[in-house]
Structure 1
């Protein structure tokens, strides 16, 4: 029907719209982004195929002193250990130099993997829809357009059951240290909220990266678990450093969500270690 407004996050044809742009980067974070771009070129030179921003900074919602800088780097060949060490060092230097950010997270992959059939509905979708081009040729030109369907749901978050044993190990290693527990709460809260959202995404028929909106969408279809996901969304923005939150994730919410996800969408195709 002419004049009909597309569902949230979708274009008029029902495909997920790409998030973010360099124009939306808040003024306070522009020096960080410019320095990251220059240092990526220095670190990888001609081996760098492309680099991207993702997360709150290119969406324009980053908070000074609270948000991290999220980068995805695509090399022309598969990365080696020295490359991984280079991005770790780059992230540490940026985090120490710029008080605007609270940490740096960098994903590092080879071009071939990002464009592979196996990753088309996971990393490929991530690049095409959630990443903002910063350097090089945009890999999205070689990827399809994506709808919020069950295939996308399965291949993005259909592996929660595999993560839970690793999470338990990380929680045990953190002990009672609030400083060690707080980033775990933030990470696991965000992961669970996004998984809960993609569980209902095909029925909701839209896309959002806002954790609170994700939790509300989930609660529409699973009211008995709505309060848990709303609370996890808040911890995703304002994490606490208490072990009880994490135990509830790996003993209750996480296992339930993994089982329900497998029932509704199936299990994600296995990846190499």
Structure 2
């Protein structure tokens, strides 16, 4: 099965049009000549965003990702959040053209399947069709352990501010649900970016304790839980995920 794009066309609600235009113009002005293309994913380009509740997710593709200074990028974000309170948060991912083309099952998947181009030539069109397979699922999760360790042992464990804890718990919950969902892609045949549909598919196809999945989903909706309790459940979920991934890798090796 070949993965289809999550967002086929941009449907911006009127509340967000000026914001998206301003973000694009600010980025192009601040990093003149260094931007190849700009992308969005999530509820805003889908037209399902909720004012004052939804965040904005951008991806910038350039020739050299080191050309983008994070402090200058952060200044743009801060200005826009002040000007457009309708957006709760702005996240921006940066990658290079080479990242997208040389890692089709990682960055290529992100740009081709998850994102929609709002400026420039869509480099995702150069990424070959992505076929759902154990190899793809393994490649897709190449950096999952590193990401989990970064949040588990760094950001979340050391966060002293309650708002930061809430944000990290929400983000970590979503990351683990996405990881579990990747395990069932051969069953669903599509990539979902709707968290409730991900959860339901995991419950239908994964042999994991449903209470663990329900807990993660509840934490995604309301992150006001004890960090120690959350991490205990998150560790159990990740252990299941890692074992499933290792079994998939071993099976691929056996039959390869």
Cα offsets for 1:121-173 (capped at 9, x unmatched): 01111100111111111101211112332222112224433334322222221
Cα offsets for 1:50-71 (capped at 9, x unmatched): 0001112112221111111110
TM-score normalised by length of structure 2: 0.88
Alignment match, 1:115 = 101
Alignment match, 2:110 = 126
Pair 17,164 (structure 1): closer, same or farther in 2 beyond 3 Å: closer
Alignment match, 2:237 = 253
Structure 1: which 5+ residue stretches go unaligned?
1-13, 267-273
Pair 162,75 (structure 1): closer, same or farther in 2 beyond 3 Å: closer
3-state SS in 1 of match to 2:145: helix
Mapped contact 1:158–1:258 kept (Cα < 8 A): no
Cα offsets for 1:87-122 (capped at 9, x unmatched): 222222222221111111001122222221xx2101
Cα offsets for 1:160-216 (capped at 9, x unmatched): 3333432222222114x4212100111101100000100111123222111111111
Instruction: Please say if 1:78 is aligned against 2:65.
Output: yes
- Cα distance in 2, alignment partners of residues 231 and 40 from structure 1: 38
Mapped contact 1:16–1:207 kept (Cα < 8 A): yes
Alignment match, 2:202 = 218
Alignment match, 1:170 = 155
The correspondence of residues 194-273 of structure 1 with structure 2, limited to 5 A, is 194-265=178-249
Pair 151,263 (structure 1): closer, same or farther in 2 beyond 3 Å: same
3-state SS in 2 of match to 1:47: coil
After TM superposition, give the deviation of residue 16 of structure 1 in Å: 2.0
Instruction: Please say if 1:67 is aligned against 2:51.
Output: no
- Cα distance in 2, alignment partners of residues 31 and 264 from structure 1: 46
Pair 241,181 (structure 1): closer, same or farther in 2 beyond 3 Å: farther
Alignment match, 2:11 = 24
Instruction: Please say if 1:40 is aligned against 2:27.
Output: yes
- Cα distance in 1, alignment partners of residues 95 and 143 from structure 2: 19
- Cα distance in 1, alignment partners of residues 235 and 104 from structure 2: 32
- Cα distance in 2, alignment partners of residues 231 and 160 from structure 1: 20
